[in-house]
Structure 1
Amino acid sequence: MRAALRHTRDSEAMITGLAALTLHRFASAPPLPALDRIDVLVPRTARRLRSSAEVRIVRAQDLPVPLALDGVRVAPVARALADAVSGLTDAGLVRGLLTEAVRGGHCEPGTVVRELNRARLLNRPHVVDAVDSLLAEGRSIAEERLYEMVREFGLPDPMWNVDLRLPGGPHLGGLDAYWPDQAVALELDTRAPRQDDDALWSEYTRKREHLERLGITVVHITPRKLREAMDQQATVIRTALMAASDRQPAAYVVVLPR
């Protein structure tokens, strides 16, 4: 650790990888004495720094803004995760680290996946499997927060997790919540930035535009907004519900459980 600290005296260097996660208090990360080497993230231009028996130099074109933990410059969780996962083959450890990042409230799934994608790690089967579990975990947490928001802020109870269809017509899409009397739909935007993101966003956009042409107001909420500004999101939904009386009646749609 002393050798790593010497390297971080460089104006931009910071601890990353498993050591950084340990400093972030990850229970699933090994203790510092158990690590063979400590990763230090440095600018690509820092050529004078070299890896050693105790320190692995990780060079990058763009560095994140570091955090100060225990007097040490440390990479933020998402970046530290990507740097750690790049050197891991233990599927269980990878899954545990990613799950703890989300369950512990360190960062949102999309932020983690963005860093993994940037590091070109989404072509590794054990990483893809862990990401799938991560996204499922993130959605579950976001849904719980959504239920909490409706309860805590006294919003009318919606119909949860439904599909909409035109009578005798095509499927209009699934929704996380729907208020049929006000024709207000809510969708959790839990997309992760992966290679097919553009196509998925186009699908979201088409569904939203179609529903709005039918007179249905669609509210998109991200897990991050639910976590950081739940009161503001409740206000957005309440405003949409109250505005229903000023709009033209929506087209009749069939609501089915999803």
Structure 2
Amino acid sequence: MAHNTPLRALPLQQRRNVQRSVLTERQLKEHGVPAGLIADRSRNGGPWQQLLPKVYLLHPGPPTNEQRLQAALLYAGHSSSRVPAQRPAMVTGLAALALHRLSSVPPVGELEVIDVLVPHQRRLRDAGQVRILRSQTLPNPDEIMGLACAPIPRALADAAAVLDDIDLVRDLLVEAVRSGRCVPSAVLRELDAAGLLARPTIAEAMDAAVAAGRAVAEDHVYELVRAGRLPDPLWNVSLYRPDGTFLAAVDAYWPDQGVTLEIDVRAPGFGDEDWHEESRRREHLEGLGLCVLYVTPEKLRDAPELQAAVVHTALRISADRPPAALVVALPR
């Protein structure tokens, strides 16, 4: 092959443009480019650039943000063996959150580090701006602009694990939940799996995200009642026995039908004792003849019509139940 063989002569046209311009040494060799020509063209002042070990940009000038991310994935996915990795490498942390378009994250071009998540058995070092994060459990990646990207909950956990700026961590968690991009329980699972909830600052940041998630879920319940043409309940009330004994705080209460509804949002630290207390409280309310409904933010977001049907059914069949005990509802 001549020194000046143009790249377009190689059989690369089937690839996306960004993938044609960022290739590994192995990919180049598979397309007939010998090692000597790769080294020659990627010397200083040459038409190609080596962005990372064995990863090349096939034009002069700075790489685009997408090319930087593609190079990071190619580097992390590279193996000296011809056996492919069991699970793909994926962008995570702040870079992934930038791909997911969270406004609290600086643009990719302003990030000093691109975090890439790989299987724990991969033997790979950090290189350039790429920081390798290993894990025994990798999520199924999302695809954004053709790039493998960690889902938002996992990207949040990976970012929180390495960030020193707790205000940024809080902003990221709250924005992700408030925007409806993910629900608090999914973030809690990832933070807990990473052991991050043991850090008081992370737990406090998650508390703020849970509060934001509850506000979003409450909006969904209001819309559920309106769109489902359900009778208006008493909103956000505390229930008491006539003698003043506190029973429960509920998000919605239909006194004529004896139906209560609560949004099931778990805060950090919700443990076995809390489960027992919640079960005891529910049994007590049901023992008084009340119908107790629980809805999660996930179900409110993903299946609002089904949740409206559940509430409608509970209200409709209330006449078939024995009358509930007298309960006093007061604003909370």
- Structure 1: where are the runs of 5+ without partners? none
Partner-residue secondary structure (3-state), 2:197:
coil
2:275 is aligned with 1:201: yes
**Structure with the larger RCO, 1 or 2 (CA within 8 Å, 6+ apart):** 1
Mapped contact 1:89–1:126 kept (Cα < 8 A): no
The aligned counterpart of 1:240 is 314
Q: How many residues align?
A: 256
Runs of 4+ more than 6 Å apart: none
Q: TM-score, normalised by structure 1?
A: 0.94
Counterpart of 1:4 (choices 52, 68, 72) is: 72
The aligned counterpart of 2:298 is 224
Residues 159-193 of structure 1: CA distance to partner in whole angstroms, max 9, x if unpaired?
Answer: 1111112221521111111111110111110114x
Counterpart of 1:44 (choices 120, 123, 135) is: 120
Residues 78-125 of structure 1: CA distance to partner in whole angstroms, max 9, x if unpaired?
Answer: 000110111111122111111111122210011112211111112333
* Structure whose CA Rg is larger: 2
Structure 2: distance between partners of 1:8 and 1:77: 20
2:200 is aligned with 1:132: no
Residues 186-212 of structure 1: CA distance to partner in whole angstroms, max 9, x if unpaired?
Answer: 1110114x4433222222211111111
Partner-residue secondary structure (3-state), 1:122:
helix
Q: Tell me by how many angstroms 1:144 deviates.
A: 1.2
The aligned counterpart of 1:105 is 180
Q: Tell me by how many angstroms 1:155 deviates.
A: 0.3
Structure 2: distance between partners of 1:64 and 1:148: 32
2:91 is aligned with 1:15: yes
The aligned counterpart of 1:150 is 225
Q: TM-score, normalised by structure 2?
A: 0.74
Bigger shift: residues 136-145 or 162-171? 162-171
Mapped contact 1:8–1:73 kept (Cα < 8 A): no
Residues 34-79 of structure 1: CA distance to partner in whole angstroms, max 9, x if unpaired?
Answer: 12221111111112x2212321111111110001111111110000
Paired amino acid for 1:55 = V
2:331 is aligned with 1:257: yes
2:189 is aligned with 1:121: no
Paired amino acid for 1:96 = D
Q: How does 1:50-69 map to 2 (within 5 A)?
A: 50-69=125-144
The aligned counterpart of 1:168 is 243
Alignment root-mean-square deviation, CA: 1.5
Partner-residue secondary structure (3-state), 1:101:
helix
